[in-house]
Amino acid sequence: MGSQITCSATSRRPTDTADGSCVSAPRIRHVILDRDGVLNREAHDGGYVLVPAEFDWLPGALAALALLRQAGVRITVATNQSAVGRGLMSPEQLESVHAKMRLEAAEYGGALDDVLFCPHAPEAQCDCRKPAPRLLLEAVNRSGIAGEETLVVGDDHRDLEAAARAGLSSALVLTGKGRATRAQLMRQGIATPAYDDLLQLAVAVANSAVQRQGS
């Protein structure tokens, strides 16, 4: 087996991997962001963000959204929210959480263009819960922007898998589950471009220097 080559998150030049899967991205015009662990802190003890007061922005996330907006990038949030399907919150309660997220992002200069979510519990075996690709495909369809100019950003392996199944490229952030996800991928010999947080990634996108995991 070939030696693992780790992608650099800061270099403007692509870093090749043994299988050629890590590539330098064309100009990114659309980012599809996971929510928990990327934009906001995950709930304690593996729980759920059930009310607006529990939605706590990660450091730098609001600045990242504003930077992406300034760079002319469309911003979609695509998130699994199985608390609805598990009966822990209503769709209206979820909407109130997302209303707070939308409002505060807009006030900071990083208005969100779209928010898509899967409300189903895992046992529903739906086609919209990541790693299924439906949410991401819908995001691309609604954006009118080509998949080649779209980047999926997540902290969990299922975000990256959903991107691959949708034919989209992806990048990992090391907030939320990101560090554990990177360690898991490294054990599997998979090189994945990883950024400390969403702000570091947004800087790379704005400077057309982002690297991504090829689909």
Q: Is the dihedral of CA 194, 160, 210, 142 positive or negative?
A: negative
Residues 168 and 212 sit within 8 Å (Cβ to Cβ): no
ω into 131 cis (within 30 of 0)? yes
Per DSSP, the three-state class of 128 is coil
Concatenating the DSSP letter of every residue in 5-19 gives -PPPSS-SS----TT
How many other C-beta atoms are found inside a 10 Å radius of the C-beta of residue 35?
A: 23
Q: Which residues are catalytic?
A: 34, 36
Using CA atoms, how far apart are residues 22 and 18, in angstroms rounded to an integer? Answer: 9
Q: Is 87 left (phi over 0), alpha (psi -120 to 50) or beta?
A: left
Amino acid making up residue 211: Q
